[in-house]
Chains A and B, each alone.
Chain A
Amino acid sequence: MAASSSAPALIGTSGDSLREAFGRRLATLMDHDKRIVVLDADIAGGTGTHHARKAHADRFIQCGIAEQNMMAMAGGLAATGFVPVVTTFAVFCLRAIEQARLSIAYAKRNAKIIASHPGLDVGPDGGSAQALEDLAAFRAIPGMTVISPADPIEMALATEAVLAFDGPVYMRTGRSPAPTIYDESHRFEIGKGHLLREGRDVTIIACGVEVARSLEAANLLAAEGIDARVVNMATIKPIDRDLVARCARETGAIVTAEDHNIHGGLGGAVAEALVTTCPCPVEFVGVNDRFGESGEPAALAAHYGLTAPFIADAAKRAMARKRVH
């Protein structure tokens, strides 16, 4: 997909899940990089690391259902020269966040925390399992890079980039089959947003599963004569400040969209970048400070206001405020 294409960007609708894309690429990377070790807390089938378990059993470390020990242990493994990839559900990364803070980030360990099952995308397991706080929480840790790729192809590229990067990273994968947005020509770079669709009237900045929905929203807006720009902001931290400021200057209104609480995640990061560069009206699409519940991901997204029509409405609200300004 060309960076400035204004054509509808959705290529397909039945891709792999992000966790599957991550797991496959991880196993391949382990063929060549003997430093990589995988830590699992009894959910390899859920996180996609069953591929690594099968291909590289000698570097697959079963930690049992004990996430705090797993997270701090990763710090110790990194201290002996390995590159640990800690894998569990996003909600259990929150359980071990203090271990991630002290034993990984504070100690500046080259360890990767890969969180599957983030947000409402978890679906039927319900509110207890749906982490809507992880981007905000991990973003607040000094030195922690935070990434949420948009589709299986970007997920594979991001997995490669994260493992080539020297430093602690928190990255979201995803449970559900994800629509494909990119083709093999896509280039992923940590810290850089990607302008997916050009537009003049408003910019939608999204991450993770909300990127595909934002492209749908741009189509809905186009039908009403509104020219919406769409940016995939896969790196939430460090945020691409230059791109955020440029979008504010060029379109004058911004909507953020994320499968996360509207507080402190992508929306917060974008707003922080904006108020210190080029302030403009912003609307936040996300879960409005509530916990989730059981349901299929698509139904939940519609119920909690994360689908394309909600994003399109938010875009119009942001544009209206632009005119008032």
Chain B
Amino acid sequence: MLNPAANAIRKQVLTEDVQLKLIPHVNRVAVTIRRLALAAIYQAGSGHPGGALSCADLLACLYGTELYFPGNNPAHPGRDRFVLSKGHAAPALYAAWAAIGLARHEDVVTLRKLGSPMQGHPHVLDLPLCETSTGSLGQGFSAAIGMALGLRMKRLSARTYVMLGDGELQEGEVWEGAMFAAHHRLSNLCALIDYNKMQSDDLNERIMGLEPLAEKWRAFGWHVEEVNGHRVPEILDALRMAAGVADRPSVIIAHTIKGKGVAQMEGNPAWHGSVKLSREQIEAAMRNLGVLAHEMEDWIHGRIV
């Protein structure tokens, strides 16, 4: 569920007792994201599981606590914005909404079906929680910059978060946007990079290397945080550090593992692209994610309330 109490302390470094309460909640959100995203991809017969699993903990931190919706109203003009620029991880985004009660599980598993609002890549006209349509890499980042600028021009204190894939950083548009955001000192903007080191065909470093990545962002004028993208306390601390930076945009480079949480998928590039999961594969994945035998059918069919 939305956690306004957690938002109240988002500009402070987390104290241990707050972390104790918050972290189990975020972890539960992350588990739901992983299970439901895979169920949706299984039901769809296609989708990108590797990159959905690698960003699950980051999404859990954002939707589990960080994103602030005044009055618990996700349509409030003063809400924080989140844009999934790596739009192919859409199943994880839809699952994150479901995990905090903003979408129905049974809708998430209609992913990629004709007539479903759960398009293969997020589409703003179909989904009230979606801030803008994405799927063409680089564009969500630019749109998020526009939102951050617009919010600042309207003197709203809301923050804008945007998640990029690592392969996405090969798009020139990203660096156009990086220059713009730094030049205009958009301190209300926080980018998260799901740095799982793999892209569609191969490892980043074999396609077109990104390193030294942190130095690139620093050179472009950004505040940089590097974290283990599967360690919730580290992510939450980095988000709070970023929120405290007043004179420049922030980027959180989150080192992640493609397919994280499912043994057969971890670090295996075969699971990046759009794949069809077999019944055996989805059951094995669900068991890996702690789904018990008697819950299996309900998770696979989105019948969890």
Contact = CB atoms under 8 A, between A and B. Distances in A.
B133 A107 contact: yes
30 contacts: A63-B180, A64-B176, A66-B177, A66-B179, A68-B142, A68-B172, A69-B173, A72-B138, A72-B139, A72-B141, A73-B142, A73-B143, A73-B149, A74-B146, A76-B143, A76-B144, A78-B146, A79-B124, A79-B132, A79-B147, A80-B151, A81-B150, A82-B153, A84-B146, A98-B136, A98-B139, A102-B139, A103-B132, A106-B133, A107-B132
A76 B149 contact: yes
Nearest to A111: B146
Given A73-B142, A76-B148, 19 more contacts: A37-B153, A58-B153, A59-B153, A64-B179, A66-B173, A66-B179, A73-B146, A73-B180, A76-B145, A76-B146, A76-B147, A76-B149, A76-B150, A77-B147, A77-B150, A81-B77, A98-B139, A102-B136, A102-B139
Contacts of A108: 124-125
B230 interface: no
Contacts, number: 105
A19 to B, nearest CB: 24
A61 B149 contact: yes
Chain B interface extent, by class: 20 to 34
Nearest to A71: B142
Contacts of A64: 176, 179-180, 183
B21 interface: no
A73 to B, nearest CB: 4
A99 interface: yes
Given A75-B143, A99-B139, A80 B150 contact: yes
A113 to B, nearest CB: 14
A69 B154 contact: no
Interface of B: 77, 123-125, 131-136, 138-139, 141-151, 153-154, 172-173, 176-177, 179-180, 183
Contacts of A107: 123-125, 132-133
Nearest to B77: A81
Interface SS of chain A: helix, strand, loop or mixed?
helix
Contact of A68 (B132, B134, B173): B173
A106 B121 CA distance: 12
A99 B183 contact: no
Nearest to A105: B133
A82 to B, nearest CB: 5
A157 B219 CA distance: 46
B136 A69 contact: no
Contacts of A80: 146-147, 150-151, 153-154
Contacts of A77: 146-147, 149-150
Interface of A: 37, 58-59, 61, 63-64, 66, 68-82, 84, 98-99, 102-103, 106-108
B143 to A, nearest CB: 4
Contact of A103 (B143, B172, B180, B183): B143
Nearest to B83: A76
Contacts of B172: 68
A312 B101 CA distance: 68
Interface centre among B125, B146, B173 (most CB of A within 10 A): B146
A64 B141 CA distance: 17
A77 B153 CA distance: 10
Contact of B123 (A59, A73, A81, A106): A106
The 4 closest A-B pairs by CB, nearest first: A76-B146, A80-B150, A72-B142, A66-B176
Given A64-B183, A102-B136, A73 B145 contact: yes
Nearest to A101: B136
Contact of B131 (A66, A79, A82, A99): A79
Contact of A99 (B142, B144, B148, B153): B142
A79 B125 contact: no
A69 B149 CA distance: 13
Nearest to A108: B125
Nearest to B178: A69
Contact of B146 (A66, A68, A72, A106): A72
B183 A69 contact: no
Contacts of A73: 142-143, 145-146, 149, 177, 180
A42 to B, nearest CB: 12
A22 B148 CA distance: 28
Contacts of B180: 63-64, 66, 69, 73
